[in-house]
Structure 1
């Protein structure tokens, strides 16, 4: 497979890594993952990545995200997991991530531009100790993004075994075109009666705890 094809697809299994000289990374790929609070099902329409070299990876991630169907959905789990995702092979570290998703518990469609801070990219070039012994040091090559009802977003950087470090918290805006940018007559990926039974039971018997996912100092909606 030619390098340009590998770069365009970015995620195909078996695509050879382009190597650290091109990406500026000490490893072959960084990982992008998504998660949602317990019971609060999400359909990720798209996550497009712009790396620090200005290259765009369209559709870097889409579909279902990591979610539990037990426990208390209030707040984010500690420690947070790194979500359902993929390795971004051939790309440099992220500068911006364009996200659009359906919050099926409400339902509502949101969109946001995540500006990844330089301090987060610096962490992703560094190793961190594991949370439990035996202590080992691994690169923090994973970026996990949490999507919650109300449009609340949080993001963390971590290695496979280190303590996640929160690097971003913001609020998305409502997508005015609705689900699938209006291409599906306002229909969501799943109707309420198609959600997991545990999610249906929780949503019908409990209020959605919007306040628990808010940022300590909420930012304005991102255009």
Structure 2
């Protein structure tokens, strides 16, 4: 079974461009299916005029983690419960860096891995729908010009 054009997400910004913000906000739920063997990811950088692509294999330990209940105190419900890590989160950063985490609402996120994507040679416009790179707005570009892009922090 394959799912194409599964897209959703938000550009995470915490007023600190270095490092990662992980969580599940802006996600795209795909319910009642098995975890795939691999994830094929293609995205357009928000600060670079290029697209990236990568294929990420899901390790067996992640599958095991997702079906193993953990006894945890859930702060939102204020009770002890058995919970599962059921969410896969992908973080994409300039330079083609991708991080993958597995987690759940009451359990912390565990890092699955850090990966380096390749530049998509066809660029951002592959679907003929007029999608193209939009440069950052003037305020964002001024910030980038002054501070640079913190490539090494991801």
TM-score interval w.r.t. the shorter chain?
0.7 to 0.9
Equivalent position to 1:207, from 145, 148, 152: 148
TM-superposed CA distance for 1:172, in Å, is: 0.2
- Separation in 2 of the partners of 1:166 and 1:81? 12
Residues 28-70 of structure 1, C-alpha deviations (whole Å, 9 max, x = no match):
xxxxxxxxxxxxxxxxxxxxxxxxxxx11112224x42412x4
Matches within 5 A, 1:34-73: 55-62=1-8, 64-68=9-13, 70-73=14-17
Asked whether the equivalents of residues 158 and 165 of structure 1 are also in contact (C-alpha less than 8 Å), the reply is yes
Change (3 A) 1:111 1:159: same
| Residues 144-187 of structure 1 deviation map (CA, whole Å, 9 limit, x = unaligned) | 00000000000100011211100121100000000023746783
Pick the structure with more strand per residue: 1
Structure 1 residues 134 and 202, CA gap change in structure 2 (3 angstroms)? farther
Contact 2:73 2:106 in 1 (8 A): yes
The alignment status of 1:105 with 2:47, answered yes or no, reads: yes
Change (3 A) 1:103 1:140: same
Task: State TM-score, norm by structure 1.
Answer: 0.60
Are 2:42 and 1:96 equivalent residues in the alignment? Answer: no
Distance 1:83 1:180, change over 3 A: farther
In structure 2, C-alpha distance between the alignment counterparts of 1:109 and 1:74, rounded to whole Å: 21
Report the Cα distance in structure 2 between the residues aligned to 1:147 and 1:101, rounded to whole angstroms: 8
**In structure 2, distance between residues paired with 1:126 and 1:191:** 44
Paired with 2:79 and 2:142, the residues of 1 have a C-alpha distance of 41
Which portions of structure 1, spanning 4 or more consecutive aligned residues, are displaced by more than 6 angstroms? none
Q: How many residues align?
A: 151
The question of 1:159 aligning with 2:104 is answered yes
Give 1:125 deviation, angstroms: 1.1
Q: Is the 8 A contact 1:116 1:168 kept in 2?
A: no
* TM-score (normalised: structure 2): 0.84
Please, which runs of 5 or more residues in structure 1 have no aligned partner? 1-54, 214-223
Distance 1:210 1:153 in 2: 12
Maintained 8 Å contact 1:154/1:170: yes
Structure with bigger helix share is 1
SS, match of residue 34 in structure 2? coil
Separation in structure 2 between the aligned mates of residue 91 and residue 205 of structure 1, nearest angstrom: 46
**How far did 1:212 drift?**
1.1
Closer, same or farther: CA 66–83 of 1 in aligned 2, 3 Å: farther
